[in-house]
Structure 1
Amino acid sequence: MQLSIVIPLLNEGESLNELYNWIASVMQSNSFSYELLFIDDGSTDNSWEIITALSQQDKNVKGIRFNRNYGKSQALHAGFKCVKGDVVITMDADLQDSPDEIPELYNLIIKDGYDLVSGWKKKRYDSKLTKNLPSKLFNAAARKTSGVKLHDFNCGLKAYNQVVVKNIDVYGEMHRYIPVLAKNAGFTNITEKVVKHQARKYGTTKFGAERFINGFLDLITIWFLSRFAKRPMHLFGALGVLMFIIGSCSAIYIGISKLYKLAQGLPAILVTNNPWFYIALTTMIIGTQLFLAGFLGELILRSKRQQERYRIAETIA
């Protein structure tokens, strides 16, 4: 199979028929063999009924329905587990991503040999104040922190070689950072393509301003995990030892200073009356706690078990 198209959605019933017809037209005009996988992330409208009807009229249409809303990352994780195409395309269901971009994305993977191609919505139709400016700041921080030189990390329209999606783990809210996850997994042949951005035709966005705050927190998480996920002791242990040494040296200095003054017959205050004594003690305690945190992290890492992250209510295969 040439193509797998994965579309996570939440309450996008108004756009699904139009989106399906658009994708089917592009697939037929390019003679692609394909599967179209909708992941219903706990919709409360008629989205699943429409997906079911589409699957009955077209065997290429498949679906997964979660029993409640788990988030876009979990939807993509479920989709990536099921896909069979040589090239995997992800896109949003709100008609803001154009299916006309799919043939070029496919060629960039198959003919040019890229592992991942990320869409870049260079010209956007969103509010400049609430989306464009925060998005630019977010993307600049992501580029600087991750080392992946993309202009638009959050674009839902992306193309992957199948081997990439089978070897990355999209969890939490890490869908924004799939290119970073791919890079950390060893897939470094990553590029971007300018794509069309359509104005939203139906409904309202499902993402509020808090996604940028969450995005920056996730960025810190992925930076930490990319460097220390396999060796937490290297960070916490090193910091703990450093702080313990600083505290110990401070305590030794306080003790020697008191002994020196006594030896010289000079007045010396009680050690417990010296504020540096408490600073040194606090530093040693924090250092010990950091060291133990690293040690516990190593134990957890070696004994962790895979846990169920979402529950599927229905599947159309």
Structure 2
Amino acid sequence: SLHLYGDLHRYVPVIAYLNGYKVSELPVVHHERRFGHSKYGPGRLIRGGLDLITVLFLSKFSTRPLHLFGPLGGALFGIGLFINLVLGLEWLGGDRGLHERPLLTLSVLLTLMGLQLLTMGLIAELVVSFMQRQDNPLNTLRDVYRYDDETIAVIHQPSAKPEKAEPQPHA
């Protein structure tokens, strides 16, 4: 079953495909609107865009959140650290006092934001790891085929597009 919330109904084909279902298109006849006017305005467009970001996030980073938070957090941390280093060298050189440099506030803010994003990514990785070991694993058993003494299981993985295994005669 698909878990839809909010306005994600717009992306049912994408979500179904990402959950391992086969998706295809069928030709349909579209009729022009004869009465009334469209209710699809800027508000629905914005919500649809935000839902698209949600679908992209869930499809790419749901099982590896550090791949999203790591580079961004590392970049912010690195930039903040570099600015702090430059300001520290200027301060040691006696150029200007740090209290005269508003760039210090920015560098400390960037460093802390980077650390927060890295930490958030690590915590999200722990949550994903914990969920994979619980009763609700991210990979679930889809079908089991029994042949005499041999059992073949087909695993459903959301990132992979599973095909149903054809029964092979047991020799």
Establish whether TM, by shorter chain, passes 0.5. yes
Distance 1:181 1:232, change over 3 A: same
Q: For residues 56-135 of structure 1, what are the structure 2 equivalents within 5 Å?
A: none
Are 1:190 and 2:17 counterparts? no
CA distance, structure 2, for counterparts of residue 194 and residue 211 of structure 1: 24
Distance 1:189 1:176, change over 3 A: closer
CA distance, structure 2, for counterparts of residue 277 and residue 295 of structure 1: 27
After TM superposition, give the deviation of residue 257 of structure 1 in Å: 2.6
User: Residue 83 of structure 1 aligns with which residue?
Assistant: none
**Correspondent of 2:50 among 217, 238, 242:** 217
Are 1:294 and 2:121 counterparts? yes
Percent identical residues? 34
CA distance, structure 2, for counterparts of residue 295 and residue 229 of structure 1: 13
**Correspondent of 1:275 among 83, 102, 115:** 102
Distance 1:175 1:257, change over 3 A: same
Q: Which has the higher contact order (CA 8 A, sep 6+)?
A: 2
User: Residue 153 of structure 1 aligns with which residue?
Assistant: none
User: Residue 178 of structure 1 aligns with which residue?
Assistant: 12
User: Residue 90 of structure 2 aligns with which residue?
Assistant: 257
After TM superposition, give the deviation of residue 192 of structure 1 in Å: 4.4
Are 1:232 and 2:57 counterparts? no
- Does the aligned pair in 1 maintain the 2:13–2:23 contact within 8 Å? no
Residues 201-236 of structure 1: per-residue CA shift (max 9 Å, x gap) = 9xx99x663333221110111111111111111111
Residues 246-276 of structure 1: per-residue CA shift (max 9 Å, x gap) = 11111111112333x34xxxxx211232122
Distance 1:245 1:298, change over 3 A: same
Distance 1:189 1:178, change over 3 A: closer
- Taking structure 1 as the reference length, the TM-score comes to 0.36
- Taking structure 2 as the reference length, the TM-score comes to 0.62
After TM superposition, give the deviation of residue 179 of structure 1 in Å: 1.4
CA distance, structure 2, for counterparts of residue 289 and residue 227 of structure 1: 21
CA distance, structure 1, for counterparts of residue 82 and residue 32 of structure 2: 62
SS at match of 1:190: coil
| Residue ranges of structure 1 left out of the alignment (5+ in a row) | 1-165, 263-267, 307-317
Pairs aligned (count) = 132
After TM superposition, give the deviation of residue 282 of structure 1 in Å: 0.8
SS at match of 1:230: coil
CA distance, structure 1, for counterparts of residue 28 and residue 121 of structure 2: 43
Q: Which has the higher strand share?
A: 1
Residues 149-187 of structure 1: per-residue CA shift (max 9 Å, x gap) = xxxxxxxxxxxxxxxxx4x43333211101111332345
Are 1:242 and 2:75 counterparts? yes
After TM superposition, give the deviation of residue 278 of structure 1 in Å: 1.5
After TM superposition, give the deviation of residue 296 of structure 1 in Å: 2.8
CA distance, structure 2, for counterparts of residue 238 and residue 303 of structure 1: 23
Please tell me the root mean square deviation across aligned C-alpha atoms, in Å.
3.2
After TM superposition, give the deviation of residue 195 of structure 1 in Å: 2.1
Distance 1:198 1:302, change over 3 A: farther
